[in-house]
Amino acid sequence: PMSVNGRTISCLGRSVVIGPMGMPAAIRSFFTPEITGIDSVPREILNGPVRFVVEDEQGILPWEKGQTDIVKKTAGAVAWESSAVAGPVALDIHAHMEFDGYLGYEIRITSQKKLDLNDIRLEIPFVSDTAKYMMGMGAKGGIRTDEFHWKWNQKNNQDSVWVGDVNAGLQVAFQDERYSRPLNTNFYLLKPLVMPRSWWNEGK
């Protein structure tokens, strides 16, 4: 069963510390390198908090009045809600963690007026020692390269990437409210990727 201790949510062999903005401030794996047991010393996956960044011409908008509330606690799932503002921009997050370590986030950005923004992005700082391997978004499984570039392409059916080591890692999938699970094996290409409008941004 899952447990909650303050801002730390734990399941078998893993724990996540939720920051004041509702995003993970730390993700830890307690699995041994052989994946046959649980160690008392965790392995850190993140090198700092995950950040959802909104940037205009003057720079990154600072989030203020951040608040996070746990809204559900069961043996199989824990859910929380977060909100913050940055000038006219409001951030609302509905998130949950399941017993197998899955984290699901629904992030909504609204503004009280029309804005010119340079970028809206998700920043995930990995511990370099843990980020040994990489697979997804066009990268074949293997040693992570120092630099990697990727663009959305519906024909490739790619919307996720995994970075990590044998006993610690993180897979990130970028989806929107229209997400539809792809088909498997030889049927893979019969169901094109539903391009997530919020992340694809029409190729911009």
CA angle 84, 121, 68 (to 5 degrees): 25
| Residue 20: per-residue pLDDT | 85
Q: Which amino acid is at 100?
A: D
What is residue 187's predicted lDDT score, i.e. its pLDDT? 86
Q: pLDDT by residue (tens digit) across 132-151?
A: 999 999 999 999 999 999 99
* Tokens found for residue 22: 């509702």
Q: What is the mean pLDDT of residues 155-165?
A: 94
* DSSP structural state of residue 126: B
CB count within 10 Å of CB 91 equals 20
Instruction: List pLDDT tens digits, range 19-53.
Output: 988 999 999 999 999 999 999 999 999 999 999 99
> What b/e sequence results for 17-35 when a residue is b if at least 16 CB atoms lie within 10 Å of its CB, and e otherwise?
bbbebbbbbbbbbbbeeee
CA pair distance 40, 32, nearest whole angstrom: 9
DSSP per residue, 155-175 = GGT--EEEEEETTEEEEEE--
Please tell me the distance from the alpha carbon of residue 54 to that of residue 74, in angstroms, as a whole number.
Answer: 33
Element (H, E) at 199: helix 197-200
Find, among 38, 43, 80, the residue nearest to 170 by Cα: 43
Q: 59 — phi, psi (to 5°)? A: 130, -165
* pTM over the 0.75 mark: yes
Q: Which of 3, 7, 43 is nearest to 127 (CA)?
A: 43
Residue 99 tokens read as 């017993």
- pLDDT tens, 4-28? 999 999 999 999 999 988 999 999 9
| Beta pairing partners, 9 | 4, 16
Residue 88 pLDDT greater than 90, yes or no: yes
Whether residue 191 contacts residue 185, with contact meaning beta carbons closer than 8 Å, is answered with no
- Distance of CA 29 to CAs 1, 20, 38, 145, Å? 17, 21, 9, 23
**Band of residue 169 on the pLDDT scale cut at 50, 70, 90:** very high
